[in-house]
Structure 1
């Protein structure tokens, strides 16, 4: 093609460039998902670059064909699939073919058209070949990169990951497996998992389980112990699934295990602790209950049920209005409020009508707090002290009786009345005499005179330490009262000091015989009684 023809040809192509770019852009957005999501300006810029590079290749510009290839590879690097990029190039080539066959408007003769078409096909074929070569390289790189990424991923997982082939050989072994089992990946890959890590007697069963997994039966959450290289036994919890190839065929078993040795040990310790606590709570001879903030019972023990006369766990889930008698409900709710107001324990003693009768309970209530320090429930512990309170009442009654008996004995001892002869009684007084004892003397003397039909009553005050006004008046009153009952009173043991006191006080001693000694008093009384008896005897 001559220079004038070449410049004419270039001008013709340039006149078609805008329409060509629009057509390529429209087709590209339909054929390539990546370009379909791009902005209009981005698609237009890419299409114009492809059209400009293709026009340059058609007129023989150096490097123009490479620019077409670069535009195609640019889509691939952005993430467009190879087949979609090829469809875009194919569409661009068709639009250029139509432009080259533009009839009379085309400056090309048949030979020039054939030459331009060859150049167009060669340019696009080169771009397609480069794209294909790049795709193959990218696939290889992705495969290598994928394996590296996969190994990095399974090593980053803080769980044991073991991949076992259909023939039971170990295909993958991550760093956590190395740590727990004690064998490195290089040492263990290719080894038979069943022969290395499963006891002989269990291999057949494990092989059956592996076939089930390959068949689609996944296993999750089962536990079994493993023995590491140094003999340490650890407990792992396993999830087992299958690995498929690109055609969807199951080719391996993927087992991931979590070391739960410490967790299992802690759980067993917690279970033992909870079991022990439950046993203590159940068998403790004290009543125990927990209520939430709405008064609903969430926990009771056997002593509570038995003490209240309930069937086991009767109160669980029920509010206190369904559990406590109406007569005591208000008091118990007031006690609960006191607990929350105090923020700590309070002591309680209460009487509760139960199916076993009215029972007396002594104990305490206290709030339970969550981790944020907020009260969420109230706990109560109490002992049934009904028998104790009954025993205390009986003891108190018994004590009153004892005191009364002691008082009566002391009364008798403090005012002893002795019949010493027919019609003669003797009351020896010892110690101090106060107003209350003087009253007892009077009472005892009068009762004795009546009981023994005494004619003479001897009051011996030899043992009285002090005779003061109350004592003297008490003695005189006793003598006068006995006289009203027909008995004479003889006062014996009067000491000089006592006699002086009686004289100084000017007490009227009429009707009272006084002698110095008890012996004299007894002789006088017996003689007086004998004369009285003789006088009363009938004549013969």
Structure 2
């Protein structure tokens, strides 16, 4: 966990301390009869001590576990029966589990959450074990009705409790042991524990460990699988110590085991799920990050890190100001503020400087809420669309060029100019002629006359559907302009309706020769060109 994450974790736990102390004090007053005689201040001091010691344990202070056990034993010294104390501890543990779930749901580090659960179970199991050991010693010292009282005590615990004598026989067996192992107390008492529950090859080692325990070497927090009578396997977390008689001599091994099967399975399932999610996030071809409300990065994936040229995870704990130039920082803050203020996703397309130059990212920023509905972070997911946008720009440029080429081609097709003989060009016109096309005819004709040094330009209007005033004026303007360049214009394919239009509007046709067919116009033009090209006879 980063320093920033550890600080946040500590602050969260400490912020819950007062509420935890109040609710645990209420439970203790309900469960422990003798506390009814205590003052409110005394109960509050006890619950605050328990909460403080537990929080210190969750934060990694192993020595604080002894203070949790001391708080449990303190109730015993007040005269509280062990089963009442145990019920109080069980409720306290559930309250802490609720707080840890809230931490996880608000985006807390998964590894920290799992470690905290392990520490929580271990510290309360140790406190319960201390109660069992204390009660067992008291029973050994005070006979009277101690056996029955001791059995009622250990049956109240939600942990497996097994007493094993120096000869490896089972001396006591509580109801939780019956549930886990599948053997009743009456069936199991007096049986050899090693022969029933330990594999033959492991018996020498386990027997040696038990001798060490009897010699005073206690064991805390180790896990091992236990096979039930029906074949089911339970995972137990054990605390093992020794039982002393009234003269301080070891008489039995006391083993207290907490069934963590479901917890372990849940943890393994969660770890698999988290590993799968981590693999997806890391390897997906996207960039992804999470920032807290202060703007610090709490999660980045490989796409984000590699895109910015960062070492994996090195952006965690940093701000935008540590990574980007001012204009990008300002834009990011504005986008984050839109998400925080609106509480809804925002679609974005932004350009971000990277190690390979500016890149364009398309994605979404959206808020993250904890279990209480409080917004605590913003997440962004996006894809690099730089190559796509470049391809679109290139495609648009290509499209514009294609349109221009098509326009030019259509222009050329609408005003075709054909050189058919030296000094002679032909422009056959087909279809309708409007004002814009008439301008193209004039431009193409003049360019053709100059380019081909034409003496005769034939305009064939056989394919023109209608010759109105506009068409007629355009043809006359073209002829007059060509005449200024020294070319004669021959108009061919004039139909009767077109001739009538030309007469009716009274257009001056001087300088324009008209013939009825294209064949006649070509013959005229070639004949004229030939006459001009023939050399003059020498003078006599």
Task: Give the TM-score taking structure 2 as reference length.
Answer: 0.72
Q: Equivalences for 1:84-483 in 2 at 5 Å? A: 143-483=143-483
Contact 1:182 1:228 (C-alpha < 8 Å) held by counterparts: yes
**Moved runs in structure 1, 4+ residues, more than 6 A?**
139-142
Q: CA deviation at 1:469?
A: 2.8
What is the CA–CA distance in structure 1 between the aligned matches of 2:436 and 2:140, rounded to whole Å?
124
Q: 1:482 to 1:330 in 2, by over 3 A?
A: same
Q: 1:277 to 1:156 in 2, by over 3 A?
A: same
CA offset digits 1:446-470 (Å, max 9, x no partner): 1111111100001111111222233
Contact 1:349 1:360 (C-alpha < 8 Å) held by counterparts: yes
What is the CA–CA distance in structure 2 between the aligned matches of 1:235 and 1:251, rounded to whole Å?
27
Aligned to 1:539: 538
Stretches of structure 2 that go unaligned for 5 or more consecutive residues are 1-78, 80-138
Q: Equivalences for 1:514-529 in 2 at 5 Å? A: 514-529=514-529
What is the CA–CA distance in structure 2 between the aligned matches of 1:476 and 1:413, rounded to whole Å?
21
What is the CA–CA distance in structure 2 between the aligned matches of 1:198 and 1:380, rounded to whole Å?
54
What is the CA–CA distance in structure 1 between the aligned matches of 2:345 and 2:391, rounded to whole Å?
28
Aligned to 2:502: 502
Contact 2:457 2:488 (C-alpha < 8 Å) held by counterparts: yes
Contact 2:140 2:245 (C-alpha < 8 Å) held by counterparts: no
Q: CA deviation at 1:141?
A: 12
Q: 1:165 to 1:459 in 2, by over 3 A?
A: same
Q: CA deviation at 1:537?
A: 4.7
Contact 1:325 1:352 (C-alpha < 8 Å) held by counterparts: no
Q: 1:314 to 1:477 in 2, by over 3 A?
A: farther
What SS does the aligned partner of 1:416 have?
A: coil
Q: CA deviation at 1:142?
A: 6.2
Q: CA deviation at 1:539?
A: 3.4
What SS does the aligned partner of 1:143 have?
A: coil
Aligned to 2:105: none
CA RMSD of aligned residues (A): 1.9
Equivalent pairs counted in the alignment come to 402
Contact 1:307 1:384 (C-alpha < 8 Å) held by counterparts: no
Q: 1:186 to 1:520 in 2, by over 3 A?
A: same
Q: 1:212 to 1:471 in 2, by over 3 A?
A: farther
Q: 1:141 to 1:495 in 2, by over 3 A?
A: same
What is the CA–CA distance in structure 2 between the aligned matches of 1:538 and 1:309, rounded to whole Å?
89
CA offset digits 1:400-443 (Å, max 9, x no partner): 22222112211111111111111110011112222222222111
Contact 1:238 1:257 (C-alpha < 8 Å) held by counterparts: yes
Q: CA deviation at 1:498?
A: 2.0
Contact 1:446 1:481 (C-alpha < 8 Å) held by counterparts: yes
CA offset digits 1:313-357 (Å, max 9, x no partner): 221110111112212111111111111222111110111222221
Contact 2:141 2:246 (C-alpha < 8 Å) held by counterparts: no
154-163 or 498-507, which deviates more: 498-507
What is the CA–CA distance in structure 2 between the aligned matches of 1:538 and 1:250, rounded to whole Å?
152
Aligned to 2:130: none
Q: 1:419 to 1:367 in 2, by over 3 A?
A: same
Q: 1:487 to 1:259 in 2, by over 3 A?
A: same
Q: CA deviation at 1:515?
A: 1.5
Q: 1:241 to 1:497 in 2, by over 3 A?
A: farther
Q: Which has the larger radius of gyration?
A: 1
What is the CA–CA distance in structure 1 between the aligned matches of 2:244 and 2:214, rounded to whole Å?
9
What SS does the aligned partner of 1:190 have?
A: coil
Q: 1:502 to 1:240 in 2, by over 3 A?
A: farther
Contact 1:462 1:492 (C-alpha < 8 Å) held by counterparts: yes
What SS does the aligned partner of 2:144 have?
A: helix
Q: CA deviation at 1:504?
A: 2.6
